[in-house]
Amino acid sequence: MNIAIIPARKNSKRIKNKNIKSFFGKPVISYAIKCAIKSKLFNKIIVSTDSQKILKIAKKFGADVPFLRPKKLSSDKAITIDVIKHSIKWLNKKNIKPNYICCIYPATPLLQHKDLKKSYSIIKKKKYDFVISAVKYPHPIDRHFEIKNNKIKLFKKNKIISMTQKNKNYYHDAGQFYWGQANTWLNKKNILTEKCFAFKLPQLRVHDIDNIEDWQITKKLFKLK
């Protein structure tokens, strides 16, 4: 049994009601739900939320919301792995024993069902703790610098004049999905481990939404998709 869990709390600091904000006429969370349904990978698609409003919207678009998330797991300090653990433990108490759990973030309108399928085939075949979505940094991070009082502070002075193509490629969490076996979710403290497989995504299909500018960029990328 495979289960998708979409963590969607009601509070958002930078964008009010981000997880249900209208994105081309539909709540943004509906795209994650629709993508999970379209993949045909899941026996259940569960939204973990502390909001009655999100609950109603999630159910409208085809997800299950069998419980409301407790307050202690709905604050800014709550981490994803603990939210997923809570959902798995709730399922186990109901005698529902999933094999694989896929955490899908709610504000991911660029997510594609084919990526869920391909990454699932990897977690099934290989002995990884997790398979996560990843994307390359658009510019070599060896050449990064900090700005203090309008002055530049270099971190790697020997790299700042190096040819861009000679710098290493670095990647970061794309913030779309994480696959893992249910027992792995329960037994690990972190998602990013040395036994974690990075499923690479193209930059045109990834943009983390943290503020209104991110929201507008994501809309432009969505149109391209």
Q: What is the pLDDT of residues 122-140, one digit of tens each?
A: 999 988 999 999 999 887 7
Write down the pLDDT at residue 166: 64
pLDDT at residue number 155: 67
Query: Does 162 score more than 60 pLDDT?
Result: no
Q: With pLDDT > 70 as the criterion, what percentage of the chain qualifies?
A: 94
Instruction: Describe the crossing of helices 113-125 and 29-39 by its angle, rounded to 10 degrees.
Output: 60
What tokens appear for 225 in the block? Answer: 């998709």
Half-sphere exposure of 216 (CA within 13 A, CB side): 3
Rounded to an integer, the average pLDDT of 62-77 is 93
Q: Which residue has the higher pLDDT, 40 or 140?
A: 40
Domains of the chain with bracketed CATH: 2-133+172-224 (3.90.550.10)
Given a cut of 80, whether residue 144 has pLDDT beyond it is: no
**DSSP bridge partners of 2:** 100
